[in-house]
């Protein structure tokens, strides 16, 4: 079975069935009718997801992507604002993260860091 799949620009695709746990890459960019995606419970740590321009992607699917994003290398999905799950926010073109060396939490905790950015033409 393929570990990578692409469905880019599949404009009539409404739902993706349960995906195999061996999946490492899913590209569904431009599938502008896509509303639901069923996720397996365990993804490999280096999995990548691309839902660029899937503006009909349901709120539940978006939450699943965010909540499980510690398991993914990266994920892209559409939106006009930073989801509520991201508590530290800033406007502009930079954000500084500080972590005391050897302190609490240790620097290794950054390996579980989630970032979310919104790119706007304005």
Q: For residue 89, how many C-alpha atoms fall within 13 Å in the half-sphere facing its CB?
A: 9
Residues 20-24 have a mean pLDDT of 75
Q: Smallest Cα–Cα separation from 86: which of 65, 58, 56?
A: 65
pLDDT over 90, % of the chain? 2
Which pLDDT band holds residue 68 (cuts at 50, 70, 90)?
A: low
Q: Identify whether the C-beta of residue 67 lies closer than 8 Å to the C-beta of residue 44.
A: no
Residue 106's pLDDT is: 54
Mean pLDDT of 95-109: 62
Cα 111 to Cα 16: distance, rounded to the nearest angstrom: 30
Residue 99 pLDDT: 64
- Given a cut of 50, whether residue 2 has pLDDT beyond it is no
Q: How many CB atoms lie within 10 A of CB 61?
A: 21
Q: Which of 57, 58, 71 is nearest to 114 (CA)?
A: 71
pLDDT of residue 71: 58
The sign of the CA dihedral 59, 56, 89, 97 is positive
């Amino acid at each position: 079975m393929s570990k990578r799949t692409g469905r880019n620009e599949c404009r009539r695709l409404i739902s993706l069935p349960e995906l195999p746990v061996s999946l490492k890459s899913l590209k569904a960019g431009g599938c502008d009718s896509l509303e639901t995606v069923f996720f397996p419970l365990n993804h490999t740590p280096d999995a990548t997801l691309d839902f660029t321009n899937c503006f009909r992607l349901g709120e539940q699917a978006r939450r699943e992507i965010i909540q499980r994003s510690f398991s993914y290398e990266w994920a892209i999905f559409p939106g006009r604002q930073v989801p509520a799950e991201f508590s530290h926010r800033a406007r502009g073109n930079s954000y500084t993260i500080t972590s005391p060396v050897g302190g609490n939490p240790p620097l290794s905790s950054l390996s579980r860091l989630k970032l979310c950015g919104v790119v706007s033409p304005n």
